[in-house]
């Protein structure tokens, strides 16, 4: 699928992030959004083949709104400069690990996992890692995984989390507040041939992490 119009729209929006321009170019936005939805709808059945937990969803369940909530932000730009979609159980509202697509000029990436889960889920994930540390390390330290996802992203606790022994050899792996990974891609990535297949190659490698994380929902 040709995502050039989607990308061109985001470039134009970045330079004209105001309500007047957006209203004057509403059709441009709607067409670009529709193309992005079609792209996500093509990915969903491919992902279901490797991860059955995704369930019966559509692109409209997965795609985030482009409108920013500026009520408590110093940044008053009304629109996001990207299109994003979380493909997972129930879509973007899912509390489970999913697969994320982020198209943004000069800042695109694909990845996923669980980002900033609530305290109950975070404790369950830490327990799962603690009691299955060798399995978890075999996933994140695998050469193919490491080459695409070099690190777990996000904030970490400065001290060991409560309820876990401070002398645990891999205590640093329990300090994360999120268990998410990203793979940055260049702008021209979205214009390459067989783009869906290339994304699926990344997600197949990521799927082991998601399946590990989602066990906490099966066992809780």
Question: What residue ranges define each of the domains in the chain, with the CATH number in brackets?
Answer: 4-219 (3.30.930)
Question: Would you state the pLDDT for residue 74?
Answer: 84
Buried residues in 101-140 as b, exposed as e (16+ CB within 10 A): bbbbbeebbbbbbbbebeeebbbbbbbbbbeeeeebeebb
Any idea of the CA torsion for 170, 173, 175, 180, to the nearest 10 degrees? Answer: 180
Q: Which residue's entry shows tokens 């050469």?
A: 143
CA distance linking residue 190 with residue 199, whole number of Å: 10
The per-residue pLDDT string of the chain (220 residues; one tens digit each, 9 = 90 and over) reads: 679 999 999 999 999 999 999 999 999 999 999 999 999 999 999 999 999 889 889 999 999 999 998 888 888 899 999 999 999 999 999 999 999 999 999 999 999 999 999 999 999 999 999 999 999 999 999 999 999 999 999 999 999 999 999 999 999 999 999 999 999 999 999 998 899 999 999 999 999 999 999 999 986 5
What does the pLDDT read at residue 105? 96
Residue-wise DSSP of 118-147: -HHHHHHHHHHHHHTHHHHHHHHTSHHHHH
Give the residue from 87, 111, 104 showing the smallest Cα distance to 190.
104
pLDDT of residue 63: 98
Q: With H, G, I as helix, E, B as strand and everything else as coil, classify residue 98.
A: strand
CB proximity list for 2: less than 8 A, separation 6 or greater: 191
């Amino acid at each position: 699928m040709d995502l050039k119009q989607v990308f061109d729209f985001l470039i134009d929006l970045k330079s004209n992030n105001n309500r007047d321009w957006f209203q004057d170019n509403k059709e441009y936005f709607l067409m670009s959004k529709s193309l992005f939805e079609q792209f996500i709808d093509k990915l969903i059945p491919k992902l279901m083949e490797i991860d059955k937990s995704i369930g019966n969803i559509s692109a409209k369940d997965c795609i985030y709104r482009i409108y920013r909530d500026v009520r408590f932000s110093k940044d008053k730009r009304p629109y996001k400069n990207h299109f994003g979609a979380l493909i997972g159980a129930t879509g973007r509202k899912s509390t489970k690990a999913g697969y994320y697509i982020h198209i943004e000029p000069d800042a695109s990436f694909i990845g996923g996992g669980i980002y900033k889960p609530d305290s109950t889920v975070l404790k369950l994930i830490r327990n799962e890692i603690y009691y299955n540390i060798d399995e978890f390390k075999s996933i994140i330290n695998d050469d193919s995984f490491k080459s695409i996802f070099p690190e777990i992203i996000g904030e970490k606790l400065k001290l060991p989390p409560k309820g876990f022994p401070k002398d645990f050899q891999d205590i640093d792996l329990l300090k994360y507040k999120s268990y998410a990974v990203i793979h940055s891609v260049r702008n021209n990535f979205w214009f390459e041939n067989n783009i869906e297949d290339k994304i699926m190659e990344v997600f197949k490698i990521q799927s082991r992490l998601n399946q590990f994380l989602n066990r906490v929902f099966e066992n809780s």
